[in-house]
Amino acid sequence: MTLDPTKHAARPRASLAVAMLGFFVVALDAQIVNVALPEIRNDLGGGLSGLQWIVTGYTLMFSALQLFSGTFSDRIGARRAYGAGMVLFTVASAACAFSPSLGALIAGRTLQGIGAALITPSSLALIREAYQDAAQRGRAIVYWGLGGSVAAAAGPVLGGLLTQLDWRLIFLVNLPVGAAALVVLARVAPSPQRPAPFDWFGQVTAVVALASLTYGIIEGAQIGYGSPSILALFTLAMLSAIAFVRAQARGKHPMVPLGLFRSRTVSTVLAIAVVTMAAFYGVVFLQSLYFQQQRGATALETGLLFLPMTALVALLNPLAARLMVRFGHVAMIVAGQLLMAVGLAGLWLLPANTSILLVALVMVPVGVGGSFTVPPIIALVMDQVPAENAGTASGVINTARQLGGSLGVAIYGALLAGQDFTDGLRIGFGTTAVALLILAAASLPLRKADHPLR
Q: What is the pLDDT of residues 315-353, one digit of tens each?
A: 776 677 677 777 888 888 888 899 999 999 998 888 878
Contact 3, 190 (CB under 8 A): yes
CA distance 222 to 352: 26
Residue type, 268: T
Burial letters 180-194, b for 16+ CB under 10 A, else e: bbbebbeebbbbeee
Q: List the Cα angle 105/109/110 in 5-degree steps.
A: 115
From CA 92, how far away is CA 87, in angstroms rounded? 9
Residues whose CB falls within 8 Å of the CB of residue 315, separated by 6 or more in sequence, listed in order: none
Mean pLDDT by 10 residues, the chain (454 residues): 41 82 84 81 77 79 76 80 92 92 90 89 81 73 74 77 87 90 85 72 83 76 79 92 86 70 76 85 81 82 81 71 77 89 89 87 88 79 64 72 76 73 81 88 69 41
Distance of alpha carbon 346 from alpha carbon 362, whole angstroms? 6
User: What integer pLDDT is reported at residue 1 of this predicted model?
Assistant: 36
Distance of CA 105 to the CA centre of its chain: 20
Residue 93: what pLDDT? 93
pLDDT tens digits along 32-67? 887 788 888 888 877 777 777 888 788 778 777 777
| Residue 141, CA distances (Å) to 95, 235, 292 in order | 31, 38, 35
User: Are the beta carbons of 258 and 392 closer than 8 angstroms?
Assistant: no
